[in-house]
Structure 1
Amino acid sequence: MSGLSPSLPTGSFAPGSTPRGADAARDVRRSDRVTAQPQHLAWPRRLNRVLVLTDLLAVAVSLVVAQIVRFGTPDVRGGSIDTLYLGVAVAIAVLWMLCLAATRSRDTRIIAVGMIEYQRVVNATLWTFGVLAILSFIVQLEVARGYLAVALPVGLALLLTGRMVWRRTLNSLRRAGRCLTGAIVVGPAADVQRVVSQLRVNLRAGYRPIGVVITDGRRLHDPEPLPMVDVEDLPAISRRTRTRAVMIAGNLPGGHAQIRELGWQLENAKTELILVSRLTDVAGPRMHLRPVQDLPMVHVDLPQYSGVNHAAKRVIDVVAAASALVLLAPVFAFLAMSIRLSSVGPIIFRQTRVGLQGQTFTMFKFRSMVVDAEARLAALQAERDAGNDVLFKIKDDPRITPIGKIMRRYSLDELPQFMNVLIGDMSLIGPRPPLPAEVEMYEDRVNRRLLIKPGITGLWQVSGRSNLSWEDSVKLDLSYVENWSVTGDILILLKTIRAVFRKEGAY
């Protein structure tokens, strides 16, 4: 993967806007030139190839595992390989790969960005087995249900894991300045400043600003000045420098007609025309373009807090919580014994939290602090960490017991919350369950966190945990409430496992 991106050569094309006079010459330095982009980008093709190979390997492994689990290890020397299931396996593999391609799950525009990539992988997997079920019924082919019951979840898990691995690899390369697409940003100074700043921070988007077009005549306050281009010269500059993305941020002086004209001028060039939406904190799947003649409309699906998806979420919660309580019973017993032997007090700590629609409930945790922790809280208020005006979290809290430090480091103290999930007070994934005192300090917008059940884990858990400021915690929780999906929950669950072992923000 290290060879995904060639080094980007610098170009010598002057920006389209060259101010006149000595004063203007001082504003635009001679070194400010739009960087010429490589004639051919190798990294998208290489990325696509490695994704195809990784997907094929995941599918093949899942089918081999299903064969072994359902029918046992075949005796190759005895010639007892089931030719029927060998053919079925090949057919499933071909169909699965075709569905992954048909859903455009390897589209460069969605790779390593948001949830769409994972949703398309899930959709391709469901389509595969849906088509297989229909074909089996039509041709009267009897395929063992146990075989498919193993192949589906194992294959899906391996596909998602492979995509996560390559996503991390691609993002690490982008942080190093590689595998990025050069973009010229067009619009009023304030909008251009916002987009440029976001592109530099959110490298996962995959774009690198290489020039700007300011349409309102104002000065751009940028610590890293970019070449300035006149809007009239933009098409010619884009072609000569092989710029592959032109981003429209805000309104152009000529309105929609000017955007249309710019699109015409960029035709037959290897350039994307991107309209940067002003809709913030709205996930891509919630936006749908309806191309009505002369009146293109963007529909935004409003959040729904009941219905089939929420029923499915509850079913998943019950099944997962019940399974976890059974499978983790030995861990529960070991931790309970360790708490009892290491300090005086109850094994389970009970605390009142606020859940769905502001209803209070009793949350269960393994006790990780001394018995009089609540009484000693007031004395520690002065030591609270800066940047979080509502949550009280301090590093090296003296109230935490030795076994409590270990449990908190790996989030083992939260395991009894599976009981809260089973009861129905909590969900596996959701906003952090707040204390009543915290809720009393909420602003109106923050109360939207209570429109959905709190979770054992969530975006806050996989994005920094206790290291987050109050504003960041609220932003993540509100983003989850507005944009949650079953696929997103699966991704958060996988990220939680990684976050637990990385131990960042756990104290």
Structure 2
Amino acid sequence: MHSTTHTGTSVAIRNGGMLARLSDVVAIAAGALLTFRAAGISEGSGYDSALVAFSMLLALMFFPSWGMYRVTRQRLFWRCVLVPVLAWLFVLVASCALVIALHRSYRPAMEWIKEWAFISAAGVVLCRLAAHAICLQLTRHDVRTCTVAVVGSTANCRQLMRKVDATPDSVYRVTVAFDTDPKAQAIPLGLPTFCDREAFVSYVRNAHIDELWLAVPLSEGQTIVPFVELLRNDLINIRFIPDVSGLSAFNAGLANLEGTSAINLVASPIASHSLIGKEIFDRVFALCALLVLSPVLAGVALAVKCSSRGPVLFKQRRKGANGKVFSIYKFRSMRAHVEAAGTVKQATRNDPRVTRVGAFLRRTSLDELPQFFNVLRGEMSVVGPRPHAIEHDKFYQDIVDGYIHRYRIKPGITGWAQINGFRGETDRIEKMQGRVAHDLYYLSNWSFWLDMRIVMATIFKGLGHGNAY
């Protein structure tokens, strides 16, 4: 099991990806090429080119050790300006020394070296500033304060609070506690403390607490089960923090929470730092898709407008990542009508509400194209579990095991369930169970290449399907 959302965020802040390293290498190479002519060198000699190549290689090797790819909200000037400039000068000097050692008669043109050093330094600094801004923007929903409810004795709760408070730039804040030993004489914690389990769970729900930490000894394992059962259909991360220190054999299931080891019981299976690349792909893919398909979008919009009275776009409230509600966009495929309050009727075969143009759009999935705007807005992903009407969520989350955990990541335009035939009307519980099982499989086995496989399958075989009506 992976670390959870906020643990993954701290990893994302500490480590840069290959894209950041590549941008620095490009800045070094571009600086060298731009300054060849400016320094009166029509073309770089073989040794000049070797110097550039060695600089790029050494940058890849040494920049990470200088903390170049550590993104924090503090010491911006040091992290994004001074350190990159010093690291680049070190790499440049080391590269010159290496090339001169290999060919003693080589002496690079000093004017070129100075201009190259300056321009590439500026490029590297700009890359660091841009990467810093992008990382914080993409993880803005994760670096916010994460509220925590703690279950345990007063002493254990107090110890956890001290560790959280002592951690610099901590994203966690303990806001409520459940005392497992209310008879013990202890100094109050200074925050809402409960002894009644039902009242505690109600407070956690109403206050929209993000995480539940079960800080109980292994001998009191029975304390865990009721809380997990009561909160199993809520989008809250649940961690078990036993009073042990030597669990290195179980690293796959551990999370480091401000110096305290926790075992993930209920948490997102995809770490946040892994989703940064997915976010970048989503925005780029959606923008390209909208540009390429703009004539199709215009044609479909005209056809919808001419087919029946009503708006071109259909909007409906759906749940996104972590249960956040948003408005999903589709081309309208039905005649304008009013649903009964609190109900949403799924389209059925030969549904009289569906227009002739709408039936074609549904069969070919062209009605889903406006959701690329949802992707650009950051509300959806290209690949992920399909979002359902909120009324259907309320019905199924207590019937289908694991249903609510589909919303631990952004919903998608297409998904693993859809390319495996689970789309269209869910007139039987078994169909929804199959769809949810495929969605949970996707969450547990997510990778960038699995996303690419789903996108390719959607393009080549998923645009039309017999269950879409």
- Pick the TM interval, shorter chain: 0.3 to 0.5
Relative CO higher for 1 or 2, CA cutoff 8 Å, sep ≥ 6?
Answer: 2
User: TM-score by structure 2 length?
Assistant: 0.40
User: TM-score by structure 1 length?
Assistant: 0.37
